[in-house]
Structure 1
């Protein structure tokens, strides 16, 4: 009897706790539409990218390939769906550097010589330079609900949360020796960060 009474009291407390709380009742997402979906997805991507940048001071090759794939999809869709997708030609120019960079590496895998190496560096810089524009357009395509969020405050809140997560991801990666060990990287199948902590002699 005492056990049943305790269970009922606990269930009653849980119901009272959830009353009036959108997070506990799971109704916050319904009220805010795509806010949480966009923020969760963008924050996870931003953390991962910033953490890698913090640990290894570079953007890994597969991220560069993802940029190539995204650019290729946008360019091909604009070409093949030109009757349905109306865009200015100059907008598509932002998607060319990742594509040209990848194709150049296909033709010349390991650039040697001063001129070729210079062209390779220019393409690499151009690819990085167009990332903000490419990212902004891809976000609009992948998360159309972002533009539909009511009011500027919600849009700014999404950007602020993602930026905060990215900053924390970078700092966690930069100071990875406080959070992880070299063995953690190895178990995950990654190269240990240069400043990681060894736990085994």
Structure 2
């Protein structure tokens, strides 16, 4: 539930606006960095510590690459860095939630089979894809005014409410 709740807005904005907003990407960076510090300084043994640390470092790598790039940089590299940023958010959010839960509650999921974990992962993926599609087709059930009243900018293709 937590992963789906955390992923719905980034997936929706990717569908509606065609991009992830900076606050979403930076939120992933903050949480992943905090989890990375916990993984690295944790006194007790932690299975797969190096792989987990490397995965949690991806948002930081993306951020450093973003600083390192300038307008003179090759467009292919810029596209690659943007793709890493999007992947960091979409993949990083549920992964980071999972790592934090495992750190704070080590016995969580004990006794859960791999097939059930796969089902949960598939369910989160389907919900995320559904949220993305809701963003793509937002004009079918939302109006520009819905976005404006919530404090968001109008996504491309939004429709105005009929005049009363």
Preserved CA contact (<8 Å) 1:50 1:170 = yes
The answer as to whether partners of 2:29 and 2:59 remain within 8 angstroms in 1 is yes
Moved more, 165-174 or 179-188: 165-174
Instruction: Find the counterpart in structure 1 of residue 70 from structure 2.
Output: 111
Residue from 126, 129, 145 that aligns with 1:164: 126
What pairs up with 1:1-201 in 2 under 5 angstroms?
A: 40-81=1-42, 83-86=43-46, 87-103=48-64, 105=66, 111-114=70-73, 121-129=79-87, 134-135=92-93, 137-144=95-102, 147-148=109-110, 150-199=112-161
Contact 1:51–1:173 (CA<8 Å) still a contact in 2?
yes
Q: Which runs of 5+ in 2 are unaligned?
A: none
Q: What's the CA shift for 1:105?
A: 4.7
User: For residues 186 and 120 of structure 1, do their structure 2 counterparts lie closer, same or farther at Cα, with a shift above 3 Å needed?
Assistant: same
Q: Which has the larger radius of gyration?
A: 1
Please give the alpha-carbon distance, in whole angstroms, between the structure 2 residues aligned to 1:91 and 1:151: 21
Q: Which runs of 5+ in 1 are unaligned?
A: 1-39
Name the SS for the 1:101 alignment partner.
helix
What TM-score does the superposition give when structure 1 sets the normalisation length? 0.61
Count of residues paired in the alignment: 158
**Higher RCO (C-alpha under 8 Å, 6+ residues apart):** 2
RMSD between aligned alpha carbons?
3.2
